[in-house]
Amino acid sequence: MTSIRAIRAVDTNHMLVIEGNCWGNNYAGVLPIDDRNTALSFHKYWTPTTQESIEPFLKLREQYDMPLWNGESGENNNDWYARAVALQEKNGIGWSWWPLKKMGAGNPLEIRTNANYRRLIAYLRSEGKKPSARSAFAGLMQFATDSRYDRNIHHQAVVDALMGASHKSGIAE
C-alpha cells in the first residue's frame, strides 16, 4: 500500500493500526498488509458477547499474523460491557472505549448539558426552533466549560464493569 510506504519512509518505529470499512469491520481490499508492525482494529457495538461473535476477527488475526485491537466500543449497558471486556481479554484482544460518543450514563464520565445547548441540539435535529446566535454560543461555551473532568458526573459502575468488579478507583458515583 502506497500510504504505508509513505509513512514508513519517515517512521519505522510506531505501530500502524489498520481499520476496515463499514464501522471498522470489513477488511475487503485492505488485507493483506506487508508490514510486520501493524495491528488489526475492529469495532464492537450491540453484538452478542459470545465466542462466535469475534471468530471472524480471530481468524483474520491468525491468517495475517497480526495483533487484534478493539478500537471502539460502548453504547450499551454495564452487564454487556463486563461480558465484552472479559471475552476480549480471554482471547488476548486489546481494547479501548469510545467514552464520549453520546452523552449519558452509559459512559465512565458524563458531561452535563445546559438548556441553551439542548435547544441548539434540538434545532440541529429539526426538533425545535432556531436559537439566537447568542444563545447557541452561550450553550456551546457552557458545554465546553462543563466538559472539564472535575465538572463531569462520574459513573463508577461503568468503570467497574469495564475494569472488573474487584476494581476500585476511588471515584464516587
pLDDT tens, position by position, for the chain (173 residues)? 678 999 999 999 999 999 988 888 899 888 999 899 999 999 998 899 999 999 999 999 999 999 999 998 888 899 999 999 999 999 999 999 876 656 666 788 888 899 999 999 999 999 999 999 999 999 999 999 999 999 988 888 988 999 985 555 444 44
* Domain ranges for the chain: 2-100
pTM beyond cutoff 0.85: no
| pLDDT for the residue 93 | 96
> Looking at residue 172, what is its pLDDT?
43
DSSP string, the chain: -HHHHHHHHH-SSSPEEEEBHHHHTB-TTT-----SSEEEEEEE-SS--SHHHHHHHHHHHHHHT--EEEEEE-SS-HHHHHHHHHHHHHTT-EE---TTSS-STTSSEE----HHHHHHHHHHTTSSPPPPHHHHHHHHHHHHHHTSGGGSEE-HHHHHHHH-TT-------
